[in-house]
Amino acid sequence: MWLEYGVSDERGLVHISDTPRGRSDLHCPYCHGRLVAKKGPRVAHHFAHNGATCNPAKRTTDLPLLPFFHSFTLHVSPKLLAELHAFKSGQRSDTQWLCNEKLLRYNDYTHQHELTKLGQIPFGLLSVNLFSQVHDARLAMVHAQLDQRLATAWKLGNAVATAEAETDLMLYRAQWQRVLRCTLYVLELQTNTEHFYKVGMTSRPIEERILEIQAALMPHVGTTAVKVLGVFPHRGHVEPYVKFKYRDQRRAIGNFTEYFDFADLKATLRDLRRMPAKVLTTVEETVLAGMPSPIMQAMFQAQLEQEIAAQRAAQIAYHREQTKAGMEAARQAGVHVGRPKGSRQANAVLLAKPSSQAIIQCLAAGMSLRETALAAGVAVNTVRKVKAALGD
């Protein structure tokens, strides 16, 4: 149920949001089987196989998903998460285990254990600014792990593992690119009788998104005036955490889930505005530009060189066969094939060459054919010719 991208022969990777519900002409990135777009009202929209699900797509671990985006359980085991909840509620817990997993730390001043930044995430206790810092680092770390997995599989020459690792990395970069393209926004919406707020992300101009929001709200609350309270470019990855952190202050409007009644607007805006302007790293720039990673570039280059070498070998073999066929046709026609008669070099001319003199000196010194060829800087066959001429 995690598969959000299908492959189109014309469009490349296609996100589930850009595909109508039902059977599609898209293929699985792993097995190339046909996909069905599952877009119901309850389960997160995803692609399913139109038939048996391939092994890479039905994994339950090591999925190429953005960390802390679809879920804030930190992708740890249920037992470890239960221990963390037990500690949070004041119950007895395995504090050593939680410390080893960097979810707790011991405070030397209070002489008590406390939640780390990572440990605060499942409860929505971490500020948005600190979450963005933790998340940026974790996004880069998972990318590095996937990149290294691909490099290892390729180096070992495991074609099956290499293909799966390459697809994992490709899908991860596609997800990362999608959120980097998006802008996180906070809006204040005013009707004739009330006001409320909206948090969302968009890859389009905010003015275009506002018109869409006003049209969607019209059947529910009537005409709405919109005021932009905050715009944060390249921060699309933070939006799910903001909704999670302020989930208790959500406001139900039809089936929409992105509206809020913030209890303390100033504190909420202060929490968001503490995020500094996003400065893209080198890796993020390549992801945003849709460029392959260095290991993927190396693989493409190696594959290209192999294809060029194979083409060159095929051309050489073709010309060799054509030459042989031409020579055979000439023989059949009674034409002499080979060196012209009488073209063999006279022994005196051969032995008079400087290179031949060097060969003669080496042979006189008792050196072998190969040693002589190496010392004189000539081919072994040349040494044989000189030696044969000396014997004549």
- CA dihedral sign of residues 63, 66, 71, 76: positive
At residue 2, the pLDDT reads 83
**Does any domain span residue 339?**
no
**Does any domain span residue 341?**
no
For 215-251, write each residue's pLDDT tens digit.
999 999 999 999 999 999 999 999 999 999 999 999 9
Structure token pair of residue 355:
């290179």
DSSP assigned state of 290: T
Better-scored residue on pLDDT, 195 or 343: 195
For 274-296, write each residue's pLDDT tens digit.
999 999 999 999 999 999 999 99
- Given a cut of 90, is residue 141 above it in pLDDT? yes
**Does any domain span residue 207?**
yes
**Does any domain span residue 129?**
yes
- Mean pLDDT, residues 255-281 taken together: 92
Better-scored residue on pLDDT, 256 or 205: 205
- Mean pLDDT, residues 317-330 taken together: 91
**Does any domain span residue 255?**
yes
Same domain, 245 and 220: yes
Position 125 confidence tier, pLDDT thresholds 50, 70, 90: very high
How many domains, in total, are found in the chain? 5
Same domain, 267 and 179: yes
Query: What percentage of the chain has pLDDT greater than the value 70?
Result: 98
DSSP assigned state of 216: H
Same domain, 282 and 371: no
Same domain, 30 and 109: no
**Does any domain span residue 298?**
no
Same domain, 134 and 1: no
Better-scored residue on pLDDT, 41 or 32: 32
- Given a cut of 80, is residue 346 above it in pLDDT? no
Same domain, 144 and 253: yes
**Domain limit, last residue, from 226, 260, 291:** 291
Give the C-alpha separation, 12 to 18, whole Å: 12
Nearest to 58 by CA among 111, 137, 1: 1
At residue 85, the pLDDT reads 96
Position 391 confidence tier, pLDDT thresholds 50, 70, 90: confident
- Given a cut of 70, is residue 343 above it in pLDDT? no
- Mean pLDDT, residues 10-28 taken together: 91
Same domain, 387 and 377: yes
Same domain, 256 and 367: no
> What is this structure's pTM?
0.77
Position 1 confidence tier, pLDDT thresholds 50, 70, 90: low
Give the C-alpha separation, 295 to 151, whole Å: 6
Same domain, 29 and 48: yes
Nearest to 278 by CA among 182, 379, 209: 182
**Does any domain span residue 270?**
yes
Nearest to 388 by CA among 359, 367, 365: 359
Give the range of the structural domain holding residue 15, as residue numbers without chain letter. Answer: 1-58
Give the C-alpha separation, 196 to 189, whole Å: 5
Same domain, 226 and 279: yes
For 41-98, write each residue's pLDDT tens digit.
778 889 999 989 998 988 877 889 999 998 898 888 999 999 999 999 999 999 999 9
Mean pLDDT, all residues of the chain = 91
What are the strands, taking DSSP E only, across the chain?
5-8, 12-15, 22-27, 34-38, 46-49, 104-107, 112-115, 183-190, 195-202, 225-233, 259-260
**Does any domain span residue 343?**
no
Same domain, 180 and 214: yes
Same domain, 247 and 274: yes
Position 337 confidence tier, pLDDT thresholds 50, 70, 90: confident
